[in-house]
Homo-oligomer: A and B are copies of this chain.
């Protein structure tokens, strides 16, 4: 084996006249006029190799045997292509390599799908042959970008004096939050470790330790039912810092994202990012992660509609609900009655009982409910929604949460459908002033809106007992183009406040102590004020690489049923293994969990 001198993708006019040794995969082979042309591929690109019978018979014997995906070593001379044969679509298209020696390093069966960016094979097949799927150049580019993003973040945080610290994967199960993955202990019979949902408590411990600035690109785990944008294991860019205000933390993260965008995408973005309160985001966009690259904002008509003659609106308001509208500017021609019906069906998935609508024409309002809005009422409504001829007005009247969900989702759909979004831009936005708690009507209890370690606003502390739902959290989320990139908060660092928090969340003193006793105790030994952030790396890669599937950002992802098709995990284990762990399996029903559609 000779030493490789160049990669295929880097062969250029600079090497003309030089002898090179290349190693890579046969992308394509064709015979033409007694010559054999081979496109040789490695991770950096493709270069054309020419097998010419003038060189030697052995060479042509090797050339004849080549098939797609064979691994070969080529020695040859770089020459300029003749004028008519320059390929402007190829990075190496001005040159080719005249082979002088060639050797087959390894053969290949015909792959189950072509190694090309465009593919229409099923994702299951791609995952079964993941090692071939990852050969597609677009996949390699995504993982190159993932590596670049991680590196840029590490470099930035190192420059900012952060320490990388690794926290345990075998840790303790806690009932709050999502479902834990458990790991049975062999030594401690009947006991279990849990895989961490985040390094939260450990990074707070490191702040108690005076490490001051911690980061980790950390693997986290949640045993939840999967959706397209969820995986059982995911990667979190995790940081925590002491003695810094919220403003300082946000500013640091803005500079970090600025550097990522610059170094990875070559895009200059402006900082500081806009900030919006949770309440404003919900009011204007019906979402706590609004895509603010386009309008179609929600308009609150609850006041205006109190005295409407349209009972659907007034009864919603009487029951404590809202009436809100979106003015779909100039879109009245785009949507037939049937189209609008299907928007109504879409809205109903978010709990809306129906979608009211009107079109604005030269003659005034038009549509099934137009009769309730005539004369002055029409004028007043048009003024409220800035309505002009050609606009489509859509309304939802319901509980505030349903109005927000349904209109927020409709807004996103309309923005996409009407192509109102400039997909080439990246717009970051902080959402701040979150509620500390969410009240669960069904369970009749409060949940932590972020997590139980989030610091309330100082001025709201007095409300903790009387009106928990009004307490605001010193929490912040970073939203990019309508996706939550991550978030964080300042943390509680007083035992008293933390105990109050646990108590509102329904922990008894004993439960709090059993689960989080070490944290409460740590707070008594000189804990600095601290706060942090966690970003989802997988999602960040997805957005920056312009992918739509989270699995395309993970080298060996799991399917929707949490299986790895390639290695066939999970799998049965031996009785001996179970016995060592003091476990037995009790199958509870014979519902098969087949149907591994990714």
B-chain residues with CB within 8 Å of residue A221 when the two chains form the complex: 169-170
State whether A561 touches B187 (Cβ < 8 A): yes
State whether A566 touches B518 (Cβ < 8 A): yes
B-chain residues with CB within 8 Å of residue A147 when the two chains form the complex: 163-165
Q: In the assembled complex, how far is the CB of residue A303 from the closest CB belonging to chain B, in whole angstroms?
A: 41
Q: Who on chain B is nearest to A149 by CB?
A: B164
State whether A182 touches B245 (Cβ < 8 A): no
State whether A570 touches B193 (Cβ < 8 A): yes
Q: Who on chain B is nearest to A223 by CB?
A: B186
Q: In the assembled complex, how far is the CB of residue A415 from the closest CB belonging to chain B, in whole angstroms?
A: 33
Indicate whether A219 sits within 8 Å of B151 (C-beta atoms), given known contacts A190-B585, A208-B131, A587-B189. Answer: no
For A216-246 the 0/1 string (1 means CB < 8 A from B) is 0001010100000000110100000011010
B143, B150, B248, B528: the one contacting A105 at CB < 8 Å is B528
State whether B586 touches A556 (Cβ < 8 A): no
| Residue A493 lies at the interface, judged by CB distance under 8 Å to chain B | yes
Alpha-carbon distance A569/B191, docked complex (angstroms): 8
For A124-140 the 0/1 string (1 means CB < 8 A from B) is 00000111111100001
B-chain residues with CB within 8 Å of residue A466 when the two chains form the complex: none
Segment at the interface with B among A81-89, A255-263, A574-582:
A574-582
B-chain residues with CB within 8 Å of residue A181 when the two chains form the complex: 170, 183
- Total A residues in contact with B, Cβ cutoff 8 Å: 122
Indicate whether A593 sits within 8 Å of B526 (C-beta atoms), given known contacts A134-B211, A569-B170. Answer: no
Q: Who on chain B is nearest to A576 by CB?
A: B175
State whether B43 touches A168 (Cβ < 8 A): no
State whether A526 touches B71 (Cβ < 8 A): yes
Indicate whether A243 sits within 8 Å of B23 (C-beta atoms), given known contacts A526-B69, A528-B71. Answer: yes
B-chain residues with CB within 8 Å of residue A208 when the two chains form the complex: 131-132
Indicate whether A43 sits within 8 Å of B211 (C-beta atoms), given known contacts A169-B169, A183-B183, A188-B563. Answer: yes
State whether A172 touches B584 (Cβ < 8 A): no
B-chain residues with CB within 8 Å of residue A572 when the two chains form the complex: 190-192
State whether B185 touches A570 (Cβ < 8 A): yes
Indicate whether A172 sits within 8 Å of B588 (C-beta atoms), given known contacts A25-B526, A111-B525, A223-B186. Answer: no
B-chain residues with CB within 8 Å of residue A573 when the two chains form the complex: 173, 182, 191-192, 194
B-chain residues with CB within 8 Å of residue A395 when the two chains form the complex: none
A182-B577, A187-B593 are known contacts; what are 13 more A-B pairs with Cβ within 8 Å? A1-B245, A42-B212, A43-B211, A106-B494, A133-B209, A169-B221, A170-B570, A172-B567, A189-B585, A189-B593, A190-B572, A206-B555, A518-B567
8 tightest Cβ-Cβ pairs between the two chains A and B: A108-B526, A134-B209, A172-B569, A69-B526, A191-B570, A131-B208, A185-B570, A190-B585
